[in-house]
Structure formats: structure tokens, C-alpha cells
Structure 1
Amino acid sequence: MKQINHYIDSTFYHQDTLLEDVISSIEENGMPSISVSPSSGKFLTMLVSISGAKKILEIGALGGYSGICLARGFGSEGNLTSLELEGKYAKLAASNLSKAGFSQQVTYMTGPALQSLATLAEDKKRFDFFFIDADKDNYENYLNYCLSLAEEGALIVTDNVLAGGSVADQSAKNKRYTEIMKKFNKTVANHPQLESILIPIGDGITISKVKIKE
């Protein structure tokens, strides 16, 4: 898996000074180095662009790497709402999104994501694209909220679903959330409201399309 990802990143990734500066800012601030891979970030940009999404909800901002990738997909016409537990992380993400030229198009909500999601639901907000990359224990809870906030045909994209390959490879070292990811993958694969597929890029990404009611 590492060899495949290295091949993809080395072949399809081109130098991106802005995103490299984001990675440096995350390290300089002592934050965990858990941003999406370069190819996963490029994939997010393409998904947003291809889908034409303009109202994106991101669960887990960290330093803004994935936020920039998502915003690049909608250019000057979309808006990103990003949920982040840590205020200092959200502050760095906002700074990095501003440097990328998206300061007027991104809103941060800090604190536990489930509380922020409840607020968005109460306000009857609707989104056409979701990216989940936060605490794994709540992935199914996040999924359920996304479904309640989703417009028909919306995409729900989720990161780290391969758990370092441990969901499929018995020789891979299990992570704390390996079983959680196995269960989550089965949930999205068999959910009556979703059409889903898993893409083995980065640490694995599921793409789920909310079915249009007939």
C-alpha cells in the first residue's frame, strides 16, 4: 500500500508551494501530521470540481490543508463550513485559507463537532458536499448528521477508511479504530440512502452519493 501511494504521489503530484507551507505551519505549531496525502488532496479538488458542489461541510479542519483542496474545487463561487474541535487549529486553518485567497468563503465552527452539527441541523442548513476526517469513534454519528443535512445527490467523502490497510490485510498492524472502520465501510456500502465505493488512495477514501428520491 505504501509503495502504491508513493508511486501515485510521485507520479501525479506537482510542487505546490502553498500546500507545502501549510504542512510546515502544522509542524511548526506542534500539531499532528495527519493531513490528507497530496494525491488525496488533489482528488478532493477534482471531486468538488466534477460534482459542481458549492456548499461544502468539512468535519475536521486541522491546519487547513484539506480545506484549501476543497475550496480550490469550487473556486470563487462556493462556500466552506469547517468544524474543528480545537480553537488554535481552526485559527491556523483560517490563516492558511486566507493566504490561499478564500478568507471570504470559509466559516469555522469550533468545539465538539456533534454540537456544531446539531446547530446546523436546527438552522436547517443544507450542503451538497461533505468531507469527514475527524475522530473515528463518531464517524457513524457524523454520517447520520450529514444525511440529515444533505441535499439530494450530495456527496459524502470520508478519509482513513482503510486504517493503514488493516481493514483488509491481516498482516498489517491493527489501529485502535480498525474495527470501527470495518463497521463503517459496511454501513456505507449497504446504506439504503447511499451509493458508495471505496477508493484505495492515501489511507482510503469512501465516496457516497445520496440517492435522489424517486
Structure 2
Amino acid sequence: MSTPRQFPQVHRETSLEDWTRSDRYHNSFLIPSDNEAANILERALKNSSDNGLPDIAVTKAQGKFLNLLAKSIGAKRILEVGTLGGYSTIWLGRALPEDGELFTLEINEKHAKIAEENISNAGLSSKCKVILGNAHDSMVKMNPEIPFDLIFIDADKPSNAKYFIEAKRLIRSNGIIIVDNVVRYGRVADSALSDPNIEGVRELLAVLKDDTEVEATTMATVGEKGYDGFIYAVRK
């Protein structure tokens, strides 16, 4: 009987430089950077940066993941909570069929304006609509005849649980809810640490623990914007 091959163990600290290099290496094979779609997305990032928006959008790899996820479930109706400059909106919008629609919720008027510019430049204004105002209030007012297929939550973290409760009401059976930034360099699991963002994630986890209407897991991620993760939940 042959002995199973043992992979060498590498004992060293990894850095943001390592993770950034890894993301860019994989992206160079899997995400084209020389086509119209890539140019549109890069212009959206540049326009957001030029107008002073914070550099907190999803990474290119994460945007592609959202795009593929929406395609894989045949999503026709998407809700995004937290727009910023519309970078993730464009990734999601490009996954929609011709009759698909996406609503994205943004409280900051300047961010909403820049996002609308970027969405228009991407040719997605007919599918993607920015709703200005408090995201939770906007969700509470929604009573769609057709529920959403996919909901992506990436807004203020202290409101995570409120957003999720409304998302569960608005999503179809077997629909998917993604909540971003829930690992936060592992700090959520460190009981010695606390801030409003960490507590917002902990509150959401406590809600999910006893929720029998969804199944969920946390997926840790690492890449050019550091060590974080997202909650992937499916509505029963």
C-alpha cells in the first residue's frame, strides 16, 4: 500500500501583500482585464475614487463571485442593500436577463448620484434602480408581488440583523441572502474586542442561531482587501 503524499507545511505569517498578489494572480487567469466589461468596471472605480468615495467596494474576485452566483440561480430580481459607487451593482446587474431588475438602496445622496452615473455608463439604467433613503425604511415599505431571488447586504454593519429580518421577508423560498464583512480579520470571534460593527455581526449571528426558517454558513475570505468573510443564507 502506498503512503499518502504529505504536502509540506509552510510556517510563516502571511501579509496583505501576499493576499493581494494571490488575488491578482488568480484574476489574471479567470477575469479578463482587456474587454469592454472590465473597462466599464474600472471606470466605475475611478469615478468613485475621483469623487472621494471610500475604497470599500467588493474586490474584483468577489464581484465576479456575485455575478456567477446570480447567473447560477437564474436570478431575475435582485435587491442590494448598500450601493456606494455601484461597483457591485454593475457586477450583479450584468448577470440579469433582459427582463431582470435590480434595486439598490443607498442613504448617502452623493454616493447615490455617483452610482447612478456609473450604472448609466455601464448601460444598466433600465435594469438597475437606485433608491435613495434609509435602507431599512425602504425595505419595510417594500411589498413586492414577486419576491427577490437574491439579496446582497453590504451596508452599515450595526443594522445587519434588521436588514436580514426584512430580507427574509422579501426573498423567495430557496432564495439566497448574502451578508458581507462578517469576519473582520477574525475580530468578531475575539470576546475581548468590541465596536459597533463587530456587535452588529454578533447580533446577526445570534438571530440566525435560533432561526428555523433559514440555513446559513459563514465563508471566510482572504484577498487584496484583507481577511474577512460573508454569511451565505438560504431561505427555506
Do both share a fold (TM > 0.5)?
yes
Query: Which deviates the most, 92-101 or 58-67?
Result: 92-101
Residue 55 of structure 2 is aligned to residue 33 of structure 1: yes
2:136 to 110, 114, 119: 114
1:201 match: secondary structure: strand
Residue 157 of structure 2 is aligned to residue 136 of structure 1: yes
CA separation in 2, counterparts of 1:189 and 1:49?
A: 29
Is the contact made by 1:82 and 1:107 (CA closer than 8 Å) also made in structure 2? yes
Query: Structure 2: which 5+ runs fail to align?
Result: 1-13, 223-227
Is the contact made by 1:8 and 1:39 (CA closer than 8 Å) also made in structure 2? no
Residue 208 of structure 2 is aligned to residue 188 of structure 1: yes
Scaled by the length of structure 1, the TM-score of the pair is: 0.87
Displacement after TM superposition at 1:77 (Å): 3.6
Aligned to 1:159: 180
CA separation in 1, counterparts of 2:122 and 2:48?
A: 15
More helix by share: 1
CA separation in 2, counterparts of 1:19 and 1:174?
A: 35
Is the contact made by 1:161 and 1:206 (CA closer than 8 Å) also made in structure 2? yes
Residue 229 of structure 2 is aligned to residue 207 of structure 1: no
2:78 to 56, 62, 68: 56
Is the contact made by 2:90 and 2:122 (CA closer than 8 Å) also made in structure 1? yes
CA separation in 2, counterparts of 1:93 and 1:191?
A: 34
2:147 to 105, 109, 126: 126
Give aligned pairs, total.
Answer: 209
Q: Could you tell me the percent identity over the aligned residues?
A: 32
Query: Which deviates the most, 202-211 or 58-67?
Result: 202-211
Is the contact made by 1:161 and 1:181 (CA closer than 8 Å) also made in structure 2? yes
1:80-95 correspondence to structure 2 within 5 Å: 80-95=102-117
Displacement after TM superposition at 1:149 (Å): 1.0
CA separation in 2, counterparts of 1:197 and 1:70?
A: 21
CA separation in 2, counterparts of 1:4 and 1:146?
A: 36
Alpha-carbon spacing, 1:82–1:170, altered in 2? closer, same or farther (3 Å): same
Which residue identity does 2:170 align to in structure 1? L
2:54 match: secondary structure: coil
Is the contact made by 2:159 and 2:200 (CA closer than 8 Å) also made in structure 1? no
1:74 match: secondary structure: coil
Displacement after TM superposition at 1:169 (Å): 6.1
2:94 match: secondary structure: helix
Is the contact made by 1:54 and 1:77 (CA closer than 8 Å) also made in structure 2? yes
Alpha-carbon spacing, 1:149–1:170, altered in 2? closer, same or farther (3 Å): closer
RMSD between superposed Cα atoms in Å? 2.3
Scaled by the length of structure 2, the TM-score of the pair is: 0.80
Larger radius of gyration: 2
Query: Structure 1: which 5+ runs fail to align?
Result: none
Residue 20 of structure 2 is aligned to residue 6 of structure 1: yes
Displacement after TM superposition at 1:182 (Å): 2.9
